[in-house]
């Protein structure tokens, strides 16, 4: 049985696939910007970590993810 530190595991994950989504990592081990994008971290005013399934921050009650459904100004790849 091989026990690696979490940091080592994350380093390997970064080498294999650099955060393409779907990877489950400890949110405290990734950059805060990534944690926010993945829905783990409350935006800077709070910084509280919780599960992405929690739409609102359990600490400050603010929505963690900014859903830009209005306006339709998507930043997808335009060919």
The contact set with Zn ion (CB under 5 A) reads 42, 46, 48, 57, 59-60
Six token digits for residue 79: 């060919």
Residue 67 Cβ, how far from Zn ion at the closest point, in Å? 16
What radius of gyration, in Å, describes the C-alpha atoms of the chain?
A: 15
Choose between 23 and 47: whose C-beta lies nearer to Zn ion: 47
Angle at 39 between CA 32 and CA 36, to 5 degrees: 25
Six token digits for residue 64: 């963690």
Residue 6 Cβ, how far from Zn ion at the closest point, in Å? 24
Choose between 10 and 43: whose C-beta lies nearer to Zn ion: 43
Choose between 38 and 42: whose C-beta lies nearer to Zn ion: 42
């Amino acid at each position: 049985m091989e026990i690696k530190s979490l940091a080592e595991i994350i380093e390997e994950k970064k080498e294999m696939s650099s955060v393409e989504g779907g990877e489950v990592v400890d949110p405290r081990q990734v950059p805060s910007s990534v944690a926010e994008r993945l829905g783990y971290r409350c935006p800077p005013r709070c910084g509280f970590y919780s599960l992405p399934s929690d739409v609102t921050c359990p600490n400050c009650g603010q929505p963690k993810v900014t859903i830009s459904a209005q306006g339709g100004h998507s930043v997808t790849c335009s060919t």
